[in-house]
Amino acid sequence: MIDLSNFNSIIGIDQEHMQVTVGAGIRLFDLNRELESHGLALPNLGDIDRQSLAGAISTGTHGTGINYHSISQAVIGLKIVTGDGGILECSPTENQNIFEAARVSLGALGVIIEVTLQCVPAFRLRAIEQTTSINNVLELFEDAIGTADHTEFFWFPHTEIGTLKINSKTNDSPSYRSPYKAFLSDEVIANGGFELINRYAKFFPQRAQKILENQISTERRISYVASSHKVFCSARRVRFIEMEYAVPLECLFEAFQKVREATNQLDHPITFPIEVRVLGADEIPLSPAYGRKSGYIAVHVYRGSPTEPYFQIVENIMRTYDGRPHWGKVHTRTSQELSDLYPEWNKFQLVLEELDPDGHFSTPYLDRVLRN
């Protein structure tokens, strides 16, 4: 009903303070390029850059790094169209209570049309990706959480193989990467080949699992240097359905182990890797990382594939650790359950009642997770 795709340009830049105001409909991949052209960057990004900025911040989209936060943390100002057609500006000094709630709001408070971001100087990252045994990956990952800037790992279900990714800030020059090898790795193998394997798996799941295992190269290690957004974000052309939960960091390894065991016991093989990341605590009322350092566990299935019983089993595990679901991904939680997981839940509800008392912006999903 509302299209913000024309709200897609930079409105103002305060170069001295590295603050940028942009239309909220700008896509992250366009925003990243625009910021880089001005010598700026966002401090942290997720691994997908197709979202609009408004959508990314409204759902708490995040990357990884225990000393870093979600994209919403970089927001220092918002302009919102309210249900009566008025325009509301909010920031840490103007309508502060609304600002705090609106940084992760699920679109429930109004239409975000402008966002002001606190940026950092453009920087490069050295990416190191290592594929080895999952037990080795877990040891390396635990050590890297506190020492590396950004770290995550993937486990390939029904195997003993994992991939560790560590991204660290560097002043080194960008690495040359053969266009042919990049296309072969990123498009032909990672996307095209993986798409074919998942299509095949819908009809021959057991056979597809063997093919996938044979395609995973063990004891593989690559390293390269590039602009931050080129390292953070990667092409994801294979469509999937995802569920992700944030748990207290101290519970991450135990929760992952339970997910690993449950996944291996499924009758139907899972072809998508499970992704694990970490994030620092923040103070945004509906942020899944509110008030606690967090570990994120994400599970996926190929588009059109059944999510059950897989997702329900994983979600039941997450409940035992007070897991908070990613707002932009699949989950079954209700407002009654979620209210116990967020200490500032009532603070958000007061802002919701103030800005949209009649549910002008509500949807069946928002009714389930925020109102009922």
How many other C-beta atoms lie within 10 A of the C-beta of residue 173? 8
Model pLDDT, residue 188? 35
pLDDT, tens only, 22-34:
999 999 999 999 9
Torsion of CA 11, 13, 14, 20, to 10 degrees: 80
Model pLDDT, residue 217? 60
What are φ and ψ of residue 121, in 5° steps?
-60, 145
Q: What integer is the mean pLDDT of 352-371?
A: 95
pLDDT, tens only, 255-298:
999 999 999 999 888 888 999 999 999 999 999 999 999 999 99
Band the pLDDT of 184: cuts 50, 70, 90: very low
For 94-219, list the strands marked E by DSSP: 111-118, 120-121, 124-133, 150-155, 161-170
Q: Between 113 and 235, where is the model more confident?
A: 113
Cα separations in angstroms, 61 against 28, 231, 252, 368 = 11, 17, 19, 20
CATH number of 10-122: 3.30.465.10
DSSP β-bridge partners for residue 116: 21, 77
Could you say which of 2.40.50.140, 3.30.2130.30, 3.40.50.2000, 3.40.462.10 is the CATH number of the domain covering 124-325? 3.40.462.10
pLDDT, tens only, 62-109:
999 999 999 999 999 999 999 888 999 999 999 999 999 999 999 999
Amino acid at 150: H
Model pLDDT, residue 1? 80
How many other C-beta atoms lie within 10 A of the C-beta of residue 239? 10
Q: Between 125 and 183, where is the model more confident?
A: 125
Model pLDDT, residue 275? 96
Domain residue ranges in the chain: 10-122, 124-325
Give the helix, strand, coil percentages of the chain, each rounded to 5: 35, 25, 40
Model pLDDT, residue 271? 85
Q: What integer is the mean pLDDT of 116-121?
A: 98
- Can you tell me the distance from the alpha carbon of 298 to that of 242, in angstroms, rounded to the nearest whole number? 7
Q: What percent of the chain has pLDDT over 70?
A: 88
Amino acid at 33: R
pLDDT exceeds cutoff 80 at 212 = no
User: Residue 65's closest CA among 179, 4, 148, 122?
Assistant: 148
pLDDT, the chain, mean: 91
Domains 10-122 and 124-325 share a fold: no
Peptide linkage before 309 cis (omega within 30 of 0): yes
Q: Give the three-class secondary structure for 349.
A: helix
pLDDT exceeds cutoff 90 at 164 = yes
Model pLDDT, residue 372? 79
pLDDT exceeds cutoff 50 at 183 = no
Q: What integer is the mean pLDDT of 166-178?
A: 86
Model pLDDT, residue 269? 85
Q: Which residues contact 143 (CB under 8 A, 6 or more apart)?
A: none
Torsion of CA 278, 281, 285, 287, to 10 degrees: -10
pLDDT exceeds cutoff 70 at 202 = no
Q: Between 156 and 17, where is the model more confident?
A: 17
Least-confidence region, from 63-67, 191-195, 220-224, 301-305 = 191-195
Q: What integer is the mean pLDDT of 45-65?
A: 96
Computed on alpha carbons and rounded to an integer, the radius of gyration of the chain in Å comes to 21
How many other C-beta atoms lie within 10 A of the C-beta of residue 77? 18
Alpha helices of 242-369 — where are they, by DSSP H?
252-264, 310-319, 335-338, 345-355, 364-366
